[in-house]
């Protein structure tokens, strides 16, 4: 292709029922496309303050340090680790999927000493394993795990795991990328000290920001670090000067102004529906999908007791080709579902019911399309 | 404010004549608000390939590794340093404003040994100082400087500085945040090995992405590192798997899909105007502004020989209050100009003529408003 033939792009977007991004509603897209304000404009600073308040509510926290990082969830993850892990700190990471493994990488790259607790893909992290690891490693500073594992569809028992970590005086870092607004999550009640999420999952905002929250205990650790945070861009001591309380805001980086408009609107939308109503909708629509998929003979990879309603991982039936089936769904039925990731690549599909995508009409569309393809 | 009173936000955006963001055109906002595609959708992957090609043209480079980092310019800067600087590497940083200082911080945090060459704010980096520093530090691996210093309005002589660095076998890292599409910039001809820019300056796209480019020489250094890159999110070895050539793309992070739509559209727009035409427009409109500001008795902080056309730094006249004047411009004239930064805070204003904001009509608006305020 030569440059001169490249012109404006017009996407023909399918219904998004993969592991995220989910369908972004028109009201959020409209908010996104409003005229750009300067990142230090007083009215934008007012919007930032509102956004923090709304996000506190969605995270169910009173943490002052609650805001979006100006980059995707992977950067939110990194913000948690580079700020909280000091060189030599021992960190226990619970892994039962791709994203626990990414946490482990983050600990290593932050100079920490990582202790890995592994559970099989598709199963929960076992609380007794965490307890045993803490007994064996009494110098552990931090316990980290994923609440909703996007690669497997498993919900880990965040409340119990945090309670154990607290018994041993540890800080807790919890990945809530796929859980936020999709299933119950209580940052304060569950004693989560640091958490990062994504905008493009159950909030149904465009991808590109990572909502984060830090407890006062976490903040204390960050402020008393002996070594500087290795990342300038993600150093919360600096970011706080821009996102912090009060009128005075110091320039740190240029905020993604339009994405913040969209994020604010998506939070308003979630709270207009009501957080509990959103959780209930995800559960109800999941049950409806479950009936449909089981009627097709598809089997879930995850036990019902800890299965995520917003991310349904099913085994690809024998004799069915993975890639061509997904391509057919996309090209003939305007429907995106997710491929398997990591150990599940080629073995499972990930069918998302997140945020705006989580409707019975979408379930009908998906089950009907799969019925046609699988019966051929 | 209680949560229940928070509703949708409607910005009343002024004309943006600060140091960026600049005015985003309606066509770019429209592109931004198109329906979200999955980040691995084949049509999005096609858009990524086009975007790389367009960006190569705007950077004037054949570098294969040319793409936007999924975060603002500060993260683009960090991507250059954490990938290219290995612990113990000696890096000469030329500083004559805020952003050279930020480069210095990045070297330190990447574990490098930074040698700082300082020139006064508002003056150019002196090539003979760089030469002397390289003579005194023959083990220097990298030379880093800012092409267009956004805090002072100075253009550094990138071609000459890079040629000197090359004489001593160094890699070059150049900040082109404010220069890209505003003044001549030739990545390949000038022997720039790594560069990061911003979307919200002379490209007039929304803020949030950082276009970067890396030469094969830079890539070689990255691939032969003895230590892993400290940032997982910014590790180019991993990012390449997603943005790299070829059809196969591995998930690394969720790309900010809608921002990439907007970025693509802004590149198409720049190339439709023509890169040289864009440079010439910035120069011509600058000359027009210069007449207007000088007729008001305002003095430029930077010598004409190396003054940036797109960022005009003028001294605040004696007896004129900085903050209240800018507030009046914003509230009564719908016009944002920039405050001074760092050493220039409270002493200078920064009047941007970047991308879509760079028009004679905007100059008229600005000069007319300043005339009214300053004559009161």
Question: What's chain B's average pLDDT?
Answer: 96
Residues with Cβ within 8 Å of residue B62, at least 6 apart in sequence:
B56, B188
C-beta separation of A9 from B47 below 8 A: yes
Measured between CB atoms, does A311 come within 8 Å of chain B? no
Angle subtended by helix axes B127-136 and B158-167, to nearest 10: 20
What ipTM was predicted for this assembly?
Answer: 0.97
d(CA A38, CA A44): 7
DSSP string, B245-287: SSS-----S---HHHHHHHHHHHHHHHHH-HHHHHHHHHHHHH
A264 with A297, same domain: the answer is no
Pair of tokens at residue B14: 């002024």
CB–CB contact A16 B38 (8 Å): yes
Considering only CB atoms, A43 lies closest to which of B11, B24, B102, namely: B11
CA separation for the pair B127, A252 (Å, rounded): 29
Tokens at A133, concatenated: 């690891």
Range A148-175 average pLDDT: 98
Q: Are residues A59 and A175 in the same domain?
A: yes
DSSP reduced 3-state for A205: coil
B246 shares a domain with B152? yes
pLDDT at A225: 97
pLDDT at residue A3, rounded to an integer: 81
**B298 and B249 both lie in a single domain:** no
Contacts of A58 (CB under 8 A, 6+ apart): A180, A181, A203, A211, A267, A270, A271, A275
Which of B233, B266, B336 has the highest number of chain A CBs within 10 A, making it the mutation to test binding with A?
A: B233
pLDDT of residue A196 exceeding 80: yes
Residue A1's pLDDT band, with cuts at 50, 70 and 90, is low
CATH classification at residue B293: 3.90.1150.10
Q: How far is CA A29 from CA A138, B101, B102, B203, B208, in A?
A: 49, 37, 34, 22, 16
Answer positive or negative: Cα dihedral of B62, B68, B73, B77.
Answer: negative
> What six digits make up the tokens of B54?
């367009």
The answer to whether position A354 is within a domain reads: yes
Residue B217 covered by a domain: yes
Q: In the predicted model, is pLDDT for residue B244 greater than 90?
A: no
B306 to chain A, minimum CA–CA distance in Å?
25
Inside any domain, residue B1: no
Q: How many CB pairs under 8 A join A and B?
A: 257
Given B233, B254, B271, the domain boundary residue is B271
Rounded distance between C-alpha atoms, residue B91 and residue A320, angstroms: 55
**Number of domains making up chain B:** 2
Q: Categorize the per-residue pLDDT at A2 as very low, low, confident or very high, splitting at 50, 70 and 90.
A: confident
DSSP class of residue B296?
Answer: T
Give the end of a domain, one of A271, A306, A340: A271
Residues A50 and A87 in one domain: yes
Cβ of A71 within 8 Å of Cβ of B73? The answer is no
- Token duo for residue B10: 């409607």
Task: For residues B2 and A133, give the distance between their C-alpha atoms in angstroms, rounded to a whole number.
Answer: 43
Helix, strand, or coil (residue A68)? strand
DSSP state letters, B149-213: ETTTTEEP-HHHHHHHHHHTT-EEEEE-TTTTTTS---TTTTT--EEE--SSSTT-PPSS-EEEE
Looking at the structure, tell me whether residues A45 and A170 fall in a common domain. Answer: yes
Instruction: Tell me the HSE value of B243 on the side-chain side, using a 13 A CA sphere.
Output: 27
Mean pLDDT score, B290-314? 98
Give me the domain span that covers residue B140.
26-271
> Pick from A148, A106, A75, A163: which is nearest to A302 by CA?
A148
For A136, residues 6+ apart whose C-beta sits below 8 A from its C-beta are none
**Which residue in this structure is represented by tokens 């890292």?**
B173
pLDDT in the model for residue B3: 81
Per the structure block, which two tokens stand in for A5? 């033939």
- A112 plus A171 within the same structural domain: yes
Alpha-carbon gap, residue B364 to B344, rounded angstroms: 25
Q: Is the pLDDT at B138 greater than 90, yes or no?
A: yes
Q: Where are the beta strands (DSSP E) in chain A?
A: 15-17, 65-69, 90-95, 113-118, 140-146, 148-149, 154-155, 171-175, 194-196, 210-214, 311-315, 335-339, 348-352
The Cα angle at residue B40 between residues B222 and A347, in degrees rounded to 5: 100
Residues 251-310 of A with CB under 8 A from B: 251-259, 261, 264-265, 268, 271
What's the pLDDT band for B1 if we cut at 50, 70, 90?
low
Any idea what the CATH number is for the domain that residue B171 is in?
3.40.640.10
User: Residue B336: which of B73, B62, B16 has the closest Cα?
Assistant: B16
Residues of A in contact with B231 (CB under 8 A): 78, 82, 109, 230-231
pLDDT above 70 as % of chain A: 99
Q: How far is B354 from chain A (nearest CA, A)?
A: 13
pLDDT given for residue A246 in this prediction: 64
Percent of chain B's residues with pLDDT above 70: 99
How many Å apart are CA B258 and CA B256, to the nearest integer?
A: 6
**Same domain, yes or no: A220 and A334:** no
Residue B311 CB contacts under 8 Å (≥ 6 apart), including other chains: B19, B148, B150, B153, B178, B350, B351, B352, B353, B354
Residue B204 CA, chain-centre distance (Å), reads 11
Residue B249 reports pLDDT greater than 90: no
Q: Looking at the structure, tell me whether residues A40 and A161 fall in a common domain.
A: yes
pLDDT in tens, B56-112: 999 999 999 999 999 999 999 999 999 999 999 999 999 999 999 999 999 999 999
pLDDT at position A245 is 67
In chain B, residues with a C-beta closer than 8 Å to the C-beta of A37 are 11, 13-14, 21
Q: Tell me how many degrees the CA angle A328-A334-A340 measures, rounded to the nearest 5.
A: 60
Q: Give the DSSP letter string of B106-129.
A: HHHHTT-EEEEEE--TTSPPPHHH
Mean pLDDT value across chain A: 96
- Do the chains contact at A252 and B57, CB–CB below 8 Å? no
Judgement on whether residues B253 and B345 belong to the same structural domain of the protein: no
A258 and A141 in a common domain: yes
Boundary residue ending a domain (B227, B242, B271): B271
Give CA separation, B24 vs B72, B294, B312, B338, in Å: 16, 28, 20, 17
Cα-based distances in Å from B342 to A231, A233, B107, B152, B176? 21, 18, 20, 9, 19
CA proximity to B144, closest of B182, B170, B178: B170
Strands B348-352 and B335-339: antiparallel
């Amino acid at each position: 292709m030569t440059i001169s033939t490249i012109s404006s792009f017009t996407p023909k977007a399918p219904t998004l029922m993969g592991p995220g991004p989910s369908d972004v509603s028109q009201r959020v897209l409209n908010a996104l496309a409003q005229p750009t304000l300067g990142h230090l404009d007083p009215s934008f600073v007012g919007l930032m303050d509102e956004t923090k308040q709304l996000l506190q509510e969605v995270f169910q926290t009173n943490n002052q340090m609650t805001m979006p990082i100006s980059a995707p969830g992977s950067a939110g993850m990194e913000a948690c680790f580079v700020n909280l892990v000091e060189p030599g700190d021992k960190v226990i990471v619970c892994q039962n999927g791709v994203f626990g493994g990414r946490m482990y990488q983050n600990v290593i790259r932050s100079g920490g000493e990582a202790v890995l607790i592994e559970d099989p893909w598709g199963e929960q992290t076992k609380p007794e394993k965490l307890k045993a690891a803490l007994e064996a490693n009494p110098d552990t500073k931090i316990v980290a795990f994923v609440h909703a594992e996007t690669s497997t569809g498993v919900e880990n028992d965040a409340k119990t795991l945090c309670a154990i970590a607290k018994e041993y005086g540890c800080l807790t870092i919890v990945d809530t990328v796929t859980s936020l607004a999709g299933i119950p999550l209580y940052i304060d009640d569950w004693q989560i000290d640091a958490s990062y999420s994504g905008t493009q999952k159950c909030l149904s905002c465009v991808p590109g920001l990572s909502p984060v929250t830090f407890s006062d205990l976490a903040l204390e650790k960050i402020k008393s670090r002996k070594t500087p945070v290795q990342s300038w861009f993600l150093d919360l001591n600096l970011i706080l000067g821009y996102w912090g309380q009060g009128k005075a805001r110091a320039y740190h980086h240029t905020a993604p102004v339009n994405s913040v408009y969209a994020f604010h609107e998506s939070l308003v939308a979630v709270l207009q529906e009501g957080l509990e109503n959103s959780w209930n909708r995800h559960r109800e629509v999941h049950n409806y999908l479950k009936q449909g998929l089981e009627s097709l003979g598809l089997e879930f990879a995850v036990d019902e007791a800890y299965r995520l309603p917003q991310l349904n991982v099913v085994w690809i039936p024998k004799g069915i080709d993975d890639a061509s089936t997904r391509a057919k769904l996309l090209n003939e039925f305007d429907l995106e579902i997710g491929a398997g990731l990591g150990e599940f690549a080629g073995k499972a599909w990930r069918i998302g019911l997140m945020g705006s995508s989580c409707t019975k009409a979408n379930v009908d569309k998906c089950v009907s399309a799969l019925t046609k393809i699988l019966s051929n």
